[in-house]
Amino acid sequence: MSKVNFLKSIHVKFVLIYILLILLAMQIIGLYFAQQLEETLKGNFESSIRDRMEIIEFSVREEMIKERTEEDLTLEQTLRTVLYGFQSDDIIEIRVVNTRYSILASSVIENQSSVGQRSTNDLVRRSIIGETELEQTYVDEESEERIWVRTQPIIAAGGEVLGTLYVVAEIENVYDQMDDINSILAVGTAISLVITAILGILVAQTISRPIADMRRQAQAMAKGNFSRKVRVYSDDEIGQLARAFNHLTNRLQESQQSTESERRKLASVLSNMTDGVLSTDRRGRIILINDPALQLLNVSRETVINRPVTSILGLEEEYTFEDLIDMKEALTLDFSSYEQSTLLRTTFSVIQKETGFVNGLIAVLHDNTEQEKIDMERREFVANVSHELRTPLTTMRSYLEALADGAWQDPNLAPNFLNVTQTETERMIRLVNDLLKLSKMDSSDTELSKEMVEFNVFFNRIIDRFEMSKSHKVRFERQLPKEQYFVEIDPDKLTQVIDNIISNALKYSPEGGKVRFGMTVEEGFLLIQISDEGMGIPKENVDRIFDRFYRVDRARSREMGGTGLGLAISKEMINAHGGVIWAESKYGKGTTIFFTLPFEMDDDGGEWD
């Protein structure tokens, strides 16, 4: 057992407390005894000095008021004789000072030279002037012993002050006695502490042994071992505690088994949920989060645990944790990034105790991105179809109303009106046909009649057809390889794709412009590109040109007869062939459409021939 663990033992603590209590009691008793003894010894010492000073004062006063003859001794001689009679071990010196502060006598032979000199002692002056008794204790600088000084005025019967007595006493003996007594007390305390420690160890064992047994049982329980039982040593409170501990062990074992079963069920539910779930404590900090929630929020478990839920969900600027507790409706959270769009529908549920105390919050995250996208596309599709149909129908109604009002009789206007009506009708037919094509592709009803074709010949034939029929001066430039590449395609569907791309290139190419055709091989795919030198497409709109009904310039596209579905149909057809299609454009410099088609190698490792 280490030193730290030894000091933490309840056995040691009990003995230490027992010793400290005894030590504290003895210290209080010793302190009180020493203080009272010191006051008593000092009082006795000072009382003894005062009593002798009363006698000395009386004798000195009698000598000072006595009338003297020539045969009598002088006052100084008489006073010196009186003072010699009262000299003792505890009195160092006695002086008699008159009202003129002259020293009349001293009890110390060595200090007789000071007789007749003026006293400069402040205590003497204050005693004579105030006619009061004064006393003072100080430490002598030479001997480093405590000295007690006392002055007592000499007052005649009529109240006249004749002088003062100045007594210097050695009070150090009193403190020496106190030191001896304190030493005796210290020895007695040490002996009693040793006896107390021995008794404390014996008593502590009777308490610490069952407690240590319960500690070992608690450690075993913490490791999941509920089979061990605590030994009952007695029928007292500690024995009753041991029995209660054994009963608690049984109950905990049952609760642990039930909790573990519920935990496994909850973990299984959380891990197999498609929705994200996170739970907080009563302060709003996340304490549990499942894997789908981590994926939806694109975070790691370490970065979200113990962090505020409002911060993780990006709601700290709009809502507080208390607001989320009162939240009844679901929130839609936008976690979209530049690369990916993510919309989460979040509902909140409060965890409450039976008393109503809020213990936390549960948030359920549902990925609503696809649904929102579908709803948005559906609304946009309906709006676009309505708009595309409304325009020709409005035009047809206007011209038909004009014809109905009599314009059919005008030989100049009637043919023009009928031509416009026919044109708009054909435009609606093209729109409906394109919508039917897209509908078939969306429902996977499109059947491809594939056959193996040599793509160079196929591609050149389409380019030749456009080159012969183009109406304005646009040059074609071909950068096609001489090798033969065989692909398995539906010629009609792919012809429609290439026709649409070339038609768009011709529509938006200026007079004298150039349309380039290229083809390369990229990792088992043919990469076909068709470029024009038209106005180009702004960078932010390039990725949307394959959306249904999307037009960069709606007015110009409508004037050229476009429905906004050509590239959308092309994208579906290319995808059906196992390829991809995309666009690159620089605004003001032209646009390039790329698409890929898979081609197969022959059995000898070369291309099909």
Paired tokens of 205: 């064992």
Same domain as 169, residue 25: yes
DSSP lists the bridge partners of residue 364 as 277, 347
Burial of 351 (0-12, 13-18, 19+ CB in 10 A): middle
CA separation for the pair 200, 195 (Å, rounded): 9
Q: What is the pLDDT of residues 250-284, one digit of tens each?
A: 888 888 778 888 878 877 777 777 788 888 988 88
pLDDT at residue 606 greater than cutoff 50: no
Out of 211-220, 317-326, 372-381, 433-442, give the one with best mean pLDDT. 317-326
Question: Between 415 and 502, where is the model more confident?
Answer: 502
Cα separation of 82 and 85, whole Å? 5
This prediction's pTM: 0.38
Is 210 a member of any domain? Answer: no
User: How many angstroms separate the CA atoms of 500 and 430, rounded?
Assistant: 13
A 10 A CB-CB count for 192 gives: 15
Max intra-chain CA distance, the chain = 185
Give me the sheet containing 276-280, strands edge to edge: 286-289, 276-280, 358-367, 343-352, 331-334
Cβ atoms 483, 526 nearer than 8 A: no
Whether 331 shows a pLDDT value over 80: the answer reads yes
Q: Does residue 264 belong to any structural domain of this protein?
A: no
Report the SS3 class of residue 179: helix
Token duo for residue 372: 């929102």
The rounded percent of the chain whose pLDDT value lies above 70 is 85
10, pLDDT greater than 70: no
- At residue 572, does pLDDT exceed 50? yes
pLDDT of residue 127: 86
How far is the C-alpha of 37 from the C-alpha of 43, rounded, in Å? 10
| Average pLDDT for the chain | 79
pLDDT at residue 64 greater than cutoff 90? no
Same domain, 296 and 165: no
Asked if residue 136 has pLDDT above 80, the reply is yes
Residue 482 is given by DSSP the state S
Q: Show which of 304, 334, 362 is a domain's final residue.
A: 362
78/33 same-domain check = yes
pLDDT, one tens digit per residue, over 11-46 is 677 777 777 888 888 878 878 888 888 788 888 888
Average pLDDT score over residue span 520-544: 84
| 421 & 502 share domain | no
8 A C-beta contact, residue 348 and residue 326:
no
Residue 40, both tokens: 């008593």
The whole-number average pLDDT for the span 216-238 is 74
Beta partners for 525? 522, 598
Side chain identity, residue 332: T
Specify the range with the lowest mean pLDDT, choosing from 11-25, 169-183, 419-433, 450-464: 419-433
Span 243-253, average pLDDT: 81
- Find out whether 549 and 384 touch, Cβ atoms under 8 Å: yes
Q: Assess whether 422 and 455 both reside in one domain.
A: no
pLDDT, one tens digit per residue, over 493-516 is 888 888 888 888 888 888 878 889
Calculate the alpha carbon distances from 484 to 13, 453, 525, 530, 601 in Å.
96, 10, 14, 19, 11
Q: In this structure, which amino acid lies at residue 410?
A: D
Quick one: 474 and 507 in the same domain? Answer: yes
The CATH number linked to 553 is 3.30.565.10
Length of the chain: 609
Q: Which of 469, 480, 526 lies closest to 502 in space, CA to CA?
A: 469
CATH of residue 422's domain is: 1.10.287.130
Same-domain check for residues 288 and 409: no
Q: What is the pLDDT of residue 471?
A: 62
pLDDT surpassing 50 at residue 147: yes
Instruction: Convert the pLDDT of each residue in 165-176 to its tens digit.
Output: 888 888 888 888
Q: For 53-64, give one letter per residue: b (16+ CB within 10 A) or e.
A: beebbebbbebb
- Which structural domain, as residue segments, surrounds residue 397? 373-442
pLDDT-based confidence at residue 107 (cuts at 50, 70, 90): confident
Band (609; pLDDT cuts 50, 70, 90): very low
DSSP letter string over 235-284?
Answer: SSHHHHHHHHHHHHHHHHHHHHHHHHHHHHHHHHHHHH-SSEEEEE-TTS
**Residue 118 belongs to a domain:** yes
Position 605 scores a pLDDT of 43
pLDDT tens for residues 182-205?
A: 888 888 888 887 887 787 777 777
- Specify if 99 maps to a domain: yes
Residue 355 sits in the same domain as residue 402: no
Identify the band that residue 517 occupies on the pLDDT scale cut at 50, 70 and 90.
very high
> 160 and 282 share a domain?
no
| Per-position b or e across 355-382, b if 16+ CB within 10 A of its CB | eeeeebbebbbbbbbeeeeeeeeeeeee
The answer on 166 and 91 residing in a single domain is: yes
Please check the confidence at residue 522 and state whether its pLDDT lies above 80.
yes
* Domain assignment of residue 255, yes or no: no
Residue 319 lies in a domain: yes
Residue 603's pLDDT is 44
Domain contains 103: yes
The last residue of one of the domains, among 394, 420, 442, is 442
Which amino acid, residue 111?
A: N
Of the candidates 227, 120, 201, the one whose C-alpha atom is nearest the C-alpha of residue 166 is 120
Residue 609 lies in a domain: no
Task: Identify the band that residue 1 occupies on the pLDDT scale cut at 50, 70 and 90.
Answer: very low
Residue 596: the pLDDT is 92
State how far the alpha carbon of 422 is from the alpha carbons of 129, 400, 410, 427, in Å: 142, 11, 18, 9
C-alpha to C-alpha distance for 342 and 256, rounded to whole angstroms? 41
With residue 367 as reference, give the H or E element that holds it: strand 358-367
Among the listed residues 131, 109, 110, 128, the one whose alpha carbon sits nearest the alpha carbon of residue 119: 128
36/160 same-domain check: yes
**At 608, is the pLDDT very low, low, confident or very high (cuts 50, 70, 90)?**
very low
Cβ contacts of 388-397, under 8 Å, gap ≥ 24 = 388/431, 388/549, 388/563, 388/564, 389/428, 389/431, 391/558, 392/424, 392/425, 392/427, 392/428, 393/424, 393/428, 395/420, 395/421, 395/424, 396/421, 396/424, 396/425
Distance CA 135, CA 253 (A): 80
Write the pLDDT tens digit of every residue in 280-312. Answer: 988 889 888 888 888 888 888 888 899 888 888
Give residue for tokens 């507080």.
Answer: 320
- Return the C-alpha torsion angle 602, 605, 607, 608, nearest 10: -20
Q: pLDDT at position 558, please?
A: 47
Domain-ending residue, one of 177, 211, 234: 177
Percent of the chain predicted with pLDDT > 90 = 2
Number of domains forming the structure of the chain: 4
For residue 595, the model assigns a pLDDT of 92
Q: Are residues 31 and 123 in the same domain?
A: yes
CATH number of the domain to which 354 belongs: 3.30.450.20
